[in-house]
Amino acid sequence: MMRKRILVGSVAAAMLIAAGAFIVPPGSDANAQAGKRLPQLDTGDASAQPWKRYAGWPVRDASKFNTLANLASPPPPTAARKLTGPITGDSTKGAVLVADRNRGGSCLACHTMGPAGGTALPGNVGPDLSEIGNAGREDKWLFNYVFDARVYNPETVMPPWGGHGIFNEAEINDIVAFLKTLKSPAPYKTELDNPDKRPAPVEKRDNLDPIENPGMWAVDKAQELWKQKSAIGFSCNTCHSDPKESFKTWAASMPKWEPRLNKVLGVEEFVTRHTKATTGDTWLMETDENRVMSVYLHYLANGTPIKIDTTSAESKAAIERGKALSARKVGELNFACTDCHGKSANKWIRGQWLGEPKGQADHFPTWRTSLQAIWDIRQRFQWCQVNIRADELAPDAKEYGDLELYLVSQNEGQKLSVPGIRH
């Protein structure tokens, strides 16, 4: 399907058809040829399908749990579980379990728990539990709070450790036995150990300085790509010889509702679909060429305040869907975006500071220092899913489009500054 619409072979630039103000490649659709609409491949996928998770990302089957596209998680319990007797778990085993990062990231990601975890940096998404042993909590309450806190607090941020089978009942007994031993304030060695005192990180690096931000190479690389001719002899430059002028605000108006695709279209998917329909090149989302070109198109609009269409009925509906998706609990750990970037924003999840949505969309694609790689926003969405044990979607999924539009709508007025630089 995809190929048929593009003339393959050695069609020279001489075959360019000038139609009205548009120069349209020979393989493009009839309306684009007639100068009526922008050349864009409206069929087929814009990313590799079936989507394969990145090598090096954790592999596990989370298909039993909700994703942004599918509801599958077991329903929350309707009543607290009864205990057969007092809890007689092994607190030594419990101390190990609460710090075990392979079991859902460990309790210390969100709680200080007295001496537990040794040198691990605790987070403060949840309350300090260092003295929970003095709080007079009943065994049944503690057991159920850890097993599945939704029986007491339907809005809880805590993962349903028992409800989703991350810990079994015997293990939860051990954890409760350990909680009951916690009776004195946390022995912080330095102020930095204390998440309530740890200063918020400030990004001081100049992201537009190529010496500080290696991601700036993408801007150079894109300028080469701009002129690189495809197999049919076309390049971006064939039709856009002055991108600095033509696209100096465009990326700040993206993403947008695209009626031709019946979904929200972001810069990266546009690049795939427009490139295919013009130069004939296949620059699928999250390939190097696509990333580099997305960096460049954003870079050209740097300094422009983000201003997207939030008024049309279709955009409004997409933003509402995105808002609902950002509050949807997904994955084995049962987190919604809003659990971390809303309710827990400006807190520490272990050693990581949780940002709020405003300020999250103005610097993508961004250079990740820790990974030595450029991530576009859809890859960031994917990781925020995989990391909480949810199956991610393909980058061109319509759900990500809705989510992106909603996120960007919360960043309106922020000035683009791409490529960003982040840890």
Q: Which stretch binds ligand HEC (CB under 6 A): 43-51, 104-112, 186-194, 213-221?
A: 104-112
**Residue 161 in the binding site for ligand HEC (CB under 6 A):** yes
The contacts of residue 323 (CB under 8 Å, 6+ apart) are 406
Contact 94, 174 (CB under 8 A): yes
Site for ligand HEC in 239-258 (CB under 6 A): 239-240, 247, 250
Q: Which of 191, 277 has the CB closer to ligand HEC?
A: 277
Distance CA 175, CA 240 (A): 63
AA letter at 405: L
**Residue 422 in the binding site for ligand HEC (CB under 6 A):** yes
**Residue 415 in the binding site for ligand HEC (CB under 6 A):** no
Distance CA 198, CA 347 (A): 10
The only residue of 99, 107, 182, 261 in contact with ligand HEC, by rule CB under 6 A: 107
Using alpha carbons, list the distances in angstroms from residue 223 to 228, 240, 286: 9, 12, 18
Q: Which of 316, 358 has the CB closer to ligand HEC?
A: 358
The only residue of 6, 116, 264, 293 in contact with ligand HEC, by rule CB under 6 A: 293
Contact 307, 315 (CB under 8 A): no
**Residue 62 in the binding site for ligand HEC (CB under 6 A):** no
Q: How many residues bind ligand HEC (CB under 6 A)?
A: 64
- Let me know how long the chain is: 423
CB of 225 to ligand HEC, least distance (A): 7
Distance CA 62, CA 122 (A): 26
Say how many C-beta atoms besides its own lie within 10 A of residue 162's C-beta. 21
The only residue of 278, 294, 302, 409 in contact with ligand HEC, by rule CB under 6 A: 278
The only residue of 65, 335, 348, 367 in contact with ligand HEC, by rule CB under 6 A: 335
Among 55, 74, 57, 56, CA closest to 166: 74
Say how many C-beta atoms besides its own lie within 10 A of residue 303's C-beta. 10
Q: Which of 98, 418 has the CB closer to ligand HEC?
A: 98
Both tokens of 122, joined, read 């605790």
Contact 161, 147 (CB under 8 A): yes
Residue with tokens 């939704």: 150
CB of 105 to ligand HEC, least distance (A): 6
The only residue of 43, 70, 153, 312 in contact with ligand HEC, by rule CB under 6 A: 153
The only residue of 11, 62, 99, 157 in contact with ligand HEC, by rule CB under 6 A: 157
**Contact string 176-215 vs ligand HEC (x = CB under 6 A):** ---x------------------------------------
Q: Which stretch binds ligand HEC (CB under 6 A): 22-30, 54-62, 69-77, 313-321?
A: 22-30
**Residue 216 in the binding site for ligand HEC (CB under 6 A):** no
Site for ligand HEC in 355-414 (CB under 6 A): 355, 360, 366, 380-381, 384-385, 388, 403, 407
Using alpha carbons, list the distances in angstroms from residue 35 to 19, 270, 272, 403: 5, 18, 20, 32
Distance CA 65, CA 70 (A): 8
The contacts of residue 182 (CB under 8 Å, 6+ apart) are 113, 114, 129, 130, 131, 132, 133
The only residue of 145, 147, 257, 299 in contact with ligand HEC, by rule CB under 6 A: 145
Give CA 282 to chain center in angstroms: 24
Distance CA 123, CA 166 (A): 20
Q: Which of 61, 245 has the CB closer to ligand HEC?
A: 245
CB of 411 to ligand HEC, least distance (A): 10
Q: Which residues bind ligand HEC (CB under 6 A)?
A: 22-25, 38-39, 98, 105, 107, 109-111, 125-127, 129, 132, 135, 142, 145-146, 149, 153, 156-158, 161, 175, 179, 234, 236, 238-240, 247, 250, 271, 274-275, 278-279, 293, 297, 326, 335, 337, 339-341, 349, 352-355, 360, 366, 380-381, 384-385, 388, 403, 407, 422
